[in-house]
Structure 1
Amino acid sequence: MKEAENIFLNLINQHKGIIHKISKMYMKDAEEQRDLFQEIVLQLWKAYPTFKGNSKFTTWMYRVCLNTALIYFKKDNRKVDKAPLDENIDIMDVNENEGKEEKLAYLYTAVQELNAIEKALIFLFLENQSHRDIAENLGISEVNARVKLNRTKEKLQFIIKKNGYEF
C-alpha cells in the first residue's frame, strides 16, 4: 500500500498544474478553488486503483478531474449558460510573454461565463489535446468535439470583447 501511495503522490505532484487549472476554470473564488482542488485529489485517490495503465496517466487524470469538476459544479447548483453560439473566431493567444499574467486573469474571468462542458472543452484545448482526445475525454464524437470547440471558442471571444478584454 505504501508503494502505491508514493507513486500516486509523485504523479499528483508532477501533474498538479492540471488540477489547479481546472479548479480556476470552474470556480471564481479562491476558497472554492481550494475546495474543488481537494475534492479532485480525493476522487483521484479513490479512483486510482481503477487505473490499469491502458492509457497515459494524464489522459485518465483529465477524465477523473473533469468528471469531478462537472459533478461538483452541478452539486453546488451553479448557473449554466445556454446562450446561442457562432463559429470560426480563434481564441486569443495566452502564451505571449508580454502581459501573460494579465491575459491569463482575463481568460479565467471570461471562462467563468461558460457552462461546465464548455469549460472542459476550453481546458482540453489549452492543454493541446487533439479533437480525438477531447472527444474521448468527454465521451462525444470527434466531429461533435470539433464543432462544440469552435462554437465555444467563438463564445469565449465574444465574452472577452463584451468585457473589454480585447487585446
Structure 2
Amino acid sequence: MYKQEAEKQFEKQISEHKLLLHKVCRIYAYTDADRQDLFQDIVIQLWKAYPKFKGDAKFSTWLYRVAINTAISGLRKKKDFITSYKPSDLPLHLTEDASSQIEEEKSQQLYKAIEQLSQVEKAIVMLYLEDRSYEEMEAILGISQGTLRVKMNRIKDKLRQLTKTIDYGT
C-alpha cells in the first residue's frame, strides 16, 4: 500500500515539475534524442533518491539538485557527449511578426553561448533564469552565496562576450 502511495505522489511531483526537468535537459543536452535520454536518466535518479527525500528543503530545490548532478555526472561519464553533439543550426523562417523572430534569434544566440559554459556555470545560469534566489542556489548547488554572486557576475561578462562573437554561418 505504501509503495503505491509513494508512486502516485512521485508521479504527481514529477508532473508538477516537468518544466524544470525539461529546462535542465535543454541546458545540458543538445539534440532531442539526448534530451529524452537525459530526462529519463534524471527521472530514474529521482525515483531512486525519492525515498531519501525528507522534505527538509522544498521539493523543487531537491529536484534541481538531483537533476543537475545527474546531468553533470552523465557528462563526466560520457566525455564526448558535448563535443560530438552540437545543436543543428535552425533555418530562419520568415514570419509575419518580426519582433518574435528577433526574440527567437536572441534566444538561440543565448543558448548557443550557454553551451560554451562549464557545467557549473550552466547550472548557475539556469537557476538564475528561473529567478531562483541566491539562497536557493546555495541549497541546490552547495556553493556559498558570496561565491555565487561573484561567479554570476563573471558569467554575465562571459555571456556578453560570447554573444558578441557568435557567428551563425559556421
Contact in 2 for aligned 1:25/1:119 (Cα 8 Å): yes
1:18 paired residue number: 20
Distance in 2, Cα, partners of 1:156 & 1:33: 23
Q: In structure 2, the residue corresponding to 1:28 is in which secondary structure? A: coil
TM-score by length of 1: 0.82
Distance in 2, Cα, partners of 1:3 & 1:103: 44
**Structure possessing the higher radius of gyration over alpha carbons:** 2
TM-score by length of 2: 0.81
AA in 2 matched with 1:127: E
The CA deviation string for residues 120-140 of structure 1, in whole angstroms up to 9 with x for no partner, is: 000110111111221221111
**2:74 is the counterpart of 1:72:** yes
2:57 paired residue number: 55
Is the helix fraction higher in 1 or 2? 2
Q: In structure 2, the residue corresponding to 1:98 is in which secondary structure? A: helix
Distance in 2, Cα, partners of 1:104 & 1:7: 35
2:10 paired residue number: 8
Distance in 2, Cα, partners of 1:79 & 1:150: 28
2:132 paired residue number: 129
Q: Which runs of 5+ in 1 are unaligned?
A: 81-96
The CA deviation string for residues 89-142 of structure 1, in whole angstroms up to 9 with x for no partner, is: xxxxxxxx8344443333222211111011000011011111122122111111
Shift of 1:164: 5.1
1:42 paired residue number: 44
RMSD of Structure 2 on Structure 1 (CA): 1.9
Range that drifts further, 60-69 or 153-162: 153-162
The CA deviation string for residues 43-69 of structure 1, in whole angstroms up to 9 with x for no partner, is: 011000011111111011011111111
**2:105 is the counterpart of 1:98:** no
Distance in 1, Cα, partners of 2:129 & 2:80: 23
Distance in 2, Cα, partners of 1:123 & 1:137: 12
